Amino acid sequence: MVSFYVLPRAKEIYAPIAGAIDSIFPTKHAFTMKIDSGISILVHIGTDTVQLERTPFELSANEEDYVKPGDLLGTADFDYIKDKGKGIEVYVVFPELDDSKKLTLIKRG
């Protein structure tokens, strides 16, 4: 498994890579993607945020939508998340990726 997290500077959540939205958790705090190479990605907004249910999250993407890097997927109220004592890190997890596979992410903008 390979993962990283980013600390948000704004409320917007953007697609990290091109692929299809595979599933969205009912609480909207996380979603999975399947990228063009077939690799799955989990994007998890915040730490222990499932307990906040849907309150701080608004996703504009839907399951089966195809997105490109930088497409707006939704927003999160990170001030609300912090006020509730939760972490604001946005995790990107590649559960199927290991040191034998390579994936290149390009930062745009």
Tell me the catalytic residues: 44
In terms of Cα–Cα distance, which of 22, 74, 92, 82 is closest to 49?
Answer: 82
Tell me which residue has tokens 């559960």: 95
DSSP string across 29-96 = SEEEEEETTS-EEEEEEEESGGGGTTTTEEE---TT-EE-TT-EEEEE-HHHHHHTT-EEEEEEEETT
